[in-house]
Chains A and B, each alone.
Chain A
Amino acid sequence: ETGVTQSPTHLIKTRGQQVTLRCSSQSGHNTVSWYQQALGQGPQFIFQYYREEENGRGNFPPRFSGLQFPNYSSELNVNALELDDSALYLCASSPTSGRARYNEQFFGPGTRLTVL
């Protein structure tokens, strides 16, 4: 069983540019969540996608957007990059049956974004 994978591993961008990060969910998982982890901080929830629709969003501006594809992989797009966007971006996938009270999230290794 393949775990959650993310690409690229590292990325350097300049202020004002746009970036796309990618996440492949674990086999059988239909829900993907994205988190931002600034240096020295805990991960912060950005948003979640379930069956290609946004299903919950944290306190992030609209320039953070996402997509989920029919194969349940996902992209995180950030426009007009700012210096404070420098962080580790983590993707987590989970199975969702609608019957369970809890669906465990499995995290990928993350993409480290540096904005100069």
Chain B
Amino acid sequence: AQKVTQAQTEISVVEKEDVTLDCVYETRDTTYYLFWYKQPPSGELVFLIRRNSFDEQNEISGRYSWNFQKSTSSFNFTITASQVVDSAVYFCALSEAQVSGNEKLTFGTGTRLTIIP
């Protein structure tokens, strides 16, 4: 069975500080996808990144960066120079690769990030 663990329930940092959100996953599949979503108070899930299990290169997109390490089954997310607009709940998710492409997402319990002005 697949499982995603986000051990940090809530994090608060002062604006402009860097913050890392942790994600640890479990799967028996050799091919899978990992995701990060942002959920602002409005409730809609906003897609941030997708990574497949064969691509362990770290990725940077503006102030966001992701560190994927298969050896530790982790897919951590770092926000550099945080801003108040980054305040939200962040979810890490996992899906197995399906031939049809119709996958289901298994989500972690989320980390509530609060950026203090």
Chain A positions near chain B (C-beta within 8 angstroms):
31, 33, 35, 40-45, 48, 50, 55-56, 58, 88, 90, 92, 94, 96-110, 112
Query: Which chain B residues numbered 58 to 117 have a C-beta less than 8 Å away from chain A?
Result: 91, 93, 97-110
Complex CA distance for A100 and B101, rounded to whole angstroms: 6
Complex CA distance for A43 and B89, rounded to whole angstroms: 12
Nearest CB to that of B100 among chain A residues? A98
Further pairs besides A58-B104, A109-B42, A110-B44: 4, Cβ < 8 Å: A92-B45, A97-B101, A98-B101, A112-B43
Task: Return B71 CB to nearest CB of chain A, in Å.
Answer: 23
Is the beta-carbon distance between A44 and B102 smaller than 8 angstroms?
no
**What count of chain B residues pass the 8 Å CB interface test?**
26
Dominant secondary structure at the B interface: loop
Is the beta-carbon distance between B107 and A55 smaller than 8 angstroms?
no
Note all chain A residues with C-beta closer than 8 A to B43. Answer: 88, 90, 109-110, 112
Note all chain A residues with C-beta closer than 8 A to B16. Answer: none
**Cβ 8 A contact of A102, one of B37, B101, B106:** B101
Complex CA distance for A99 and B44, rounded to whole angstroms: 28
Complex CA distance for A44 and B108, rounded to whole angstroms: 9
Is the beta-carbon distance between B44 and A108 smaller than 8 angstroms?
yes
Task: Return B6 CB to nearest CB of chain A, in Å.
Answer: 8
Given the contacts A42-B91, A42-B107, A42-B109, A96 and B101 also touching, CB distance less than 8 Å: yes
